Amino acid sequence: MTDLNATHDPDLKSWIETANDPACDFPIQNLPFGVFSTPADPAPRPGVAIGDQILDLAVMETAELLPTPDAVFRQPTLNAFMALGPAVWSKTRAALSELLAAGASVLGDDVDLKSRALTPLGEAQMHLPFLVTEFTDFYASKEHATNVGRMFRDPDNALMPNWLHIPIGYNGRASSVVVSGTDIHRPRGQLKGPDDAEPRFGASEKLDIELEMGAVVGMGNALGTPLSTGQANAMIFGFVLLNDWSARDIQVWEYQPLGPFQAKAFATTISPWVVTQEALAPFRVDGPTQNPAPLAYLRQDGPHNFDINLSIALQPDSHDAKTDLSRTNFKYMYWSSAQQLTHHASSGCAMRTGDLLGSGTISGPTPGQLGCLLEMSKNGSTPIDLTGGGTRTFIEDGDTLTLGGWCQGDGFRVGFGTACGKILPAVSEF
């Protein structure tokens, strides 16, 4: 576990005044990492969000103000930095905190360096923050699994017999992971209704979202080497918001016997900022009691969940009013990210820098805390009223879905920004 240190001080302020706004997602206690470019310099490079600015880490590295090897931040992804491990991550965070703290003179008083190192967030184009080497999606919310099991299996035996013993997951498509703001075409696939004699090929009519968090693997393990939950936790660099778009009608026809395939392969949206585990340390909490107790290799000491508030909003093309669909929390997850990573490597699977683990849909215990439209609309049987008029059961063309996430501190918030995507019509020709 990460110990609290000076970078977590709730009274710490920055000389960048916008970072001191209690409603700002990016105070000095956060310092999330991303990759950006500008019209003046179109080469993608790593940066850190602070207030309404991005601190260019390539500039800071050239100025020899960071404790990292040469050229780590003069690359288009964070992978080289993440591969350096927790000690370097922590030293770099401490150095950045000192440079950005109120009263710091090395950067704060250097007009020329500041002009080269700072870019307004509104002038930057954000890119995928890391090269996604593999993507694995889990099914780790007990509330979500129970709700879905009641709809499609047996209401009295909603969970499969293995669910309480093992973090259930499947291998997804790293090639389909995109950064927030990327438009998504409605997928096409094989569809077969319960009364249809044969399947047909067409555009999904039950397009859905899945509100998830993504754990970003910073360090890997050698092939054949299992992990303890403590080792797995130390390997996680940080977290992103994650929307694993899902075509429910394609999924229901294809998922037996081997699980989701094309219904989940077309797009997964992540937020552009990776909030580090160290930034989240003050917000660690115990997860739900696991009963029965997991097998020895999955047992964990101390709090392994995080108190992260999460939200879903829908914006149709037809009017300006957004509808807040859900407010939930990452703390409800039954299987923690450390347990998911531990189980992933338990067979000897080699994990790599840049692997992305989706938590699975995050639903809470009340109706206002559901993480997907499948649950909210009861598979389309209960329409959802929109704020500006109209209803939805599933996503329509032109709809923009936005995920938000933040941890609430004492006078500050550690935010993730947003993960959003707009649905465009299906591509009709090959």
The residues carrying an active-site annotation are 144
DSSP label at 95?
H
Would strands 356-358 and 135-138 be described as parallel, antiparallel, or unpaired?
A: parallel
Q: How far apart are CA 327 and CA 340, in angstroms?
A: 24
Residues 246/362, Cβ–Cβ less than 8 Å: no
Q: Rg of the chain over CA atoms, in angstroms?
A: 22
Instruction: State both tokens at 365.
Output: 């215990």
Q: How far apart are CA 9 and CA 102, in angstroms?
A: 13
First to last CA, the chain: 50
Least Cα distance to 312 among 424, 385, 212, 414 occurs for 212
Instruction: State both tokens at 430.
Output: 């090959």
DSSP per-residue string spanning 139-170: ---HHHHHHHHHHHS-TTS-S-TTTTTS--EE
DSSP per-residue string spanning 350-419: PP-TT-EEE------SSGGG--SHHHHTTTTTSPEEPTTS-EESS--TT-EEEEEEEEE-SS-EEEEEEE
Strands in 173-271 per DSSP E: 177-179, 184-185, 188-191, 200-203, 207-208, 211-217, 236-243, 246-247, 268-270
Instruction: State both tokens at 53.
Output: 């600015």
The dihedrals phi and psi of 415, each to the nearest 5 degrees, come to -105, 165
Q: How far apart are CA 263 and CA 245, in angstroms?
A: 8
Q: How far apart are CA 395 and CA 247, in angstroms?
A: 10
Q: How far apart are CA 44 and CA 76, in angstroms?
A: 5
Least Cα distance to 241 among 267, 285, 272, 265 occurs for 272
Residue 190 forms beta bridges with which residues?
201
Half-sphere exposure (CA, 13 Å, Cβ side) for 123?
Answer: 12
